[in-house]
Amino acid sequence: MSDAFTTHVLNINTGSAETVFDLTGDCERFLRVAAAGRDGLLNVFVPHATAGIAILETGAGSDSDLLAALHALLPADDRWQHRHGSPGHGRDHVLPALVAPHATLPVIGGQLELGTWQSVCLVDTNRDNADRQVRLSFLG
């Protein structure tokens, strides 16, 4: 395959609590090799029916605010038709409709072009499956 397209899979363990997991450093490490100073696009994709990718500020409370907003929009109770797993697990299957399972980001000169406070994050509300894969793909 051409070096214009490079892909790598991250294996992430998100633990037993709902989380916003910062992937920015992983993306930057991948791009140092994959982009090698070139312009292009980074696609970040999580191949799971109960997780998403978000671009947001972390560390100043926004990650906790996102989880709180998801709790308000998608309560973990018995209202969901999808009922296997822990109580309220059906909401986890609705999450990717609100937090997409992918993001495509510009890469300029081999560097991820994010705003000052932006981070690339895996959003995982599924407490039943902590083992996640995230596919990073560079096209340039």
- Which residue is it, tokens 């407490």? 127
DSSP 37-100: T--EEEEEE---TTEEEEEE--SSSHHHHHHHHHHHHS-SSTT-S---SSTTTHHHHHHHHHS-
Give the mean model confidence (pLDDT) for residues 102-119: 97
Least reliable range by pLDDT among 16-30, 54-68, 83-97, 115-129? 83-97
pLDDT tens digits, residue range 18-36?
A: 999 999 999 999 999 999 9
Percent of the chain with pLDDT over 90: 84
**So what's the pLDDT on residue 48?**
95
Confidence check: pLDDT of 140 > 80: yes
Confidence check: pLDDT of 88 > 90: no
The residue type found at 18 is: E
pLDDT tens digits, residue range 1-12?
A: 467 899 999 999
**So what's the pLDDT on residue 137?**
98
**So what's the pLDDT on residue 46?**
98
- How far is Cα of residue 17 from the mean position of the Cα atoms in its chain? 16
**So what's the pLDDT on residue 2?**
61
pLDDT tens digits, residue range 38-83?
A: 999 999 999 999 999 999 999 899 999 999 999 999 998 989 888 7
CA-CA distances (angstroms) from residue 121 to 12, 38, 94, 140? 12, 23, 18, 22
Q: Which domains are present in the chain?
A: 5-139 (2.60.120.460)
